[in-house]
Structure 1
Amino acid sequence: MRYMLTYDLMETLRNTNQWAGASAQAIASYPMWGMVPNPAFNLMAAWGEVTERSFSRMVSKPDWGLESVVGKDGRDHIVTVTNAVERPFGDLIHFKVQGRAPMARRILLVAPMSGHYATLLRSTVQSLLPDADVWITDWHNARDIPVSAGKFDIEDYTLYLSDFMDHLGPDLHVIAVCQPAPLALAATAYLAAEKPKAQPRTLTLIGGPIDPDANATDVTDFGRRVTMGQLEQVMLQRVGFKYAGVGRMVYPGLLQLASFVSMNAETHSKAFYDQIMRVSKNEDGDRDKHNRFYDEYLAVMDMTAEFYMSTVERIFKNREIAENAFVVNGRAVDIGSIDNVAVKIVEGEKDDISAPGQCLAALDLLTGLPDSKKAAHLEPGAGHYGIFAGKSWRSNIRPLVLNFIDANAKAEPVGKKSA
Structure 2
Amino acid sequence: MKEMMSYDLMETIRNTNEWMGASARAMASYPVWGLVPHPMFKALSAWGRVTERSFARMVIKPDWGIRSVPAQDGRDHVISEETVLDRPFCTLVHFKAQGRPAMKRRVLVVAPMSGHYATLTRSTVASLIPDCEVYVTDWKNARDIPVSAGKFDIEDYTLYLVDFLRALGPDINVVAICQPAPLALAATAILAEDEPEAQPRALVLIGGPVDPDAAATEVTDFGRRVTMGQLEQLVIQRVGFKYPGVGRMVYPGLMQLASFISMNLDKHTDAFQSKIIAEAKGEGSERDKHNVFYDEYLAVMDMTAEFYLSTVERIFKKVEIGRNCFTVAGRAVDIGRITTTAVYTVEGENDDISAPGQCIAALRLCTGLPESKKASHLEPGAGHYGIFAGSSWRNHIRPKLLQFFDEQAAPKPAATPIRAV
Which TM-score applies when normalising by structure 2? 0.97
Which residue identity lines up with residue 350 of structure 2 in the other structure?
A: K
Partner of 2:367: 367
Alignment-derived partner of residue 396 in structure 1: 396
Secondary structure, in 3 states, of the residue corresponding to 1:92? strand
CA distance in 1, matches of 2:303, 2:391: 30
Residue in structure 2 matched with residue 134 of structure 1 by the alignment: 134
**How far does residue 410 in structure 1 lie from its aligned partner after superposition?**
4.0
What one-letter code is carried by the residue in structure 1 that aligns with 2:319? Answer: R
2:197 corresponds to: 197
Q: Residue 97 of structure 2 corresponds to which residue in structure 1?
A: 97
Letter in 2 for 1:352: D
The aligned residue for residue 383 of structure 1 is 383
Structure 2 gap segments, 5+ residues each: 413-421
Contact 1:142 1:302 in 2 (8 A): yes
Q: Which amino acid letter does the alignment assign opposite residue 4 of structure 1?
A: M
- Give the residue type in structure 1 aligned to 2:228: M
Contact in 2 for aligned 1:201/1:411 (Cα 8 Å): no
Supply the AA of the counterpart residue of 1:158: T
Query: Counterpart in 2 of 1:332?
Result: 332
Residue 58 of structure 1 is matched in structure 2 by 58
Q: Residue 20 of structure 1 aligns with which residue?
A: 20
Alpha-carbon deviation of 1:220?
2.4
Q: Work out whether residues 343 and 375 of structure 1, in 8 Å CA contact, stay in contact via their aligned partners in 2.
A: yes
Q: How big is each residue's C-alpha offset from its partner over 1:94-115, in whole Å with a ceiling of 9 and x where there is no partner?
A: 0011001110100000000000
* 3-state SS, counterpart of residue 408 of structure 1: helix
Deviation by residue 1:28-49 (Cα, 9 ceiling, x = unmatched): 1111111112111101100000
- What is the DSSP-based 3-state SS (H/G/I as helix, E as strand, rest coil) of the residue aligned with 2:95? strand
The RMSD of aligned alpha carbons is: 0.8
Matches within 5 A, 1:140-155: 140-155=140-155
| CA-to-aligned-CA distance 1:152-197 (integer Å, 9 cap, x gap) | 0000000000100100000000000000000000000010011212
Q: Is 1:307–2:307 an aligned residue pair?
A: yes
User: What is the letter of the counterpart of residue 318 of structure 2?
Assistant: N
1:250 is matched with 250
Superposed, 1:10-89 pairs within 5 Å as 10-89=10-89
Give the corresponding residue for 1:181: 181
Cα offsets for 1:223-258 (capped at 9, x unmatched): 101000001111100001111001100000000000
CA distance in 2, matches of 1:78, 1:72: 14
Structure 1 Cα separation of the partners of residues 283 and 33 of structure 2 = 20
Measured in 1, the distance between the counterparts of 2:410 and 2:316 equals 35
Contact 1:177 1:206 in 2 (8 A): yes
1:212/1:221 contact within 8 Å kept: no
- Distance in 1 between residues matched to 2:374 and 2:272, nearest whole Å: 43
Distance 1:407 1:123 in 2: 24
Change (3 A) 1:411 1:332: farther
Distance in 2, matches of 1:365 and 1:134, equals 28
Secondary structure of the corresponding residue to residue 372 of structure 1: helix
Q: Any unmatched runs of 5+ in structure 1? A: 413-419
Cα distance in 2 for partners of 1:125, 1:266 equals 31
Kindly provide the CA deviation profile for residues 54-83 of structure 1, in whole angstroms up to 9, marking residues without a partner as x. Answer: 000000000011110001101010000111
CA–CA distance in 2 between the matches of 1:94 and 1:220? 34
Identity of aligned residues (%): 70
